[in-house]
Amino acid sequence: PFAPVLEGNPAVDNVLLHRDFVSTASSLLRRRFPVTFNQHGGPTSAFLTAAAGSPSRICWSHCRFAFLYNQRIPDVGALDARQHFHTVEHRLMQFYWAGLPPSSIPPAEVFPQPDAIASVEHLLAANGVGPHSPFAVLHPGAAYFTKRWALEHFAAAAQWLHSQHGLAPVVVLGPGERELVSTVRRLFPSPAVLLDSLSLRELIALISRTRLFLGNDSGPAHLATAA
């Protein structure tokens, strides 16, 4: 479901979709990768790493089924004296340990696709937001209620963005946030637009076009940074 995050990325040659163990293992083995890095460390990824048959199979020293790897990386604390790491820094330690020269980490990027952009522009136009109209995307949802700013605050921000800056408020909700729909419809009157059934590809396209993003600590906020 998250493959669109990598779509169009020039740094990625191929994305293999895991459907079942046998077909995925066969696909890996056919490609004869010289090195396989396991960035996850769970049991399924461990056996898929082994099935790839790479001469170098790399994971953390504390990974489960460690015997399936022939190169195990020490815990990050043994490689860097700092106490706290961003997740990206932690993942890159595998590549640094394998010989990639450490350098500044480039920002994450997503690459909206033309058909997804066209689909989003059609949806916006159907809701009164023209192709050249500025808009703000608001995402009031999050995986946990403890990460959610109050809906009333989002609604007040939407009204202010429209009245003071002429930005049409576009509210997005994900599949797991449908319980918020009725409250959002009540608190966000016209001209606010509610989109609650976007695909991930469409969400990336929408966020890439927005003038401003306001959201909680969740996936769409990271997409906004990457866009």
pLDDT at 150: 94
For 154-172, the pLDDT digits (tens) are 999 999 999 999 999 999 9
| Listed range (77-81, 90-94, 101-105, 112-116) with the worst mean pLDDT | 77-81
Read off the pLDDT band of 100 (50, 70, 90): very high
Across the chain, what does the average pLDDT equal? 92
pLDDT at 216: 95
Determine contact, residues 39/58, Cβ cutoff 8 Å.
no
d(CA 15, CA 206): 23
Q: What percent of the chain has pLDDT over 90?
A: 75
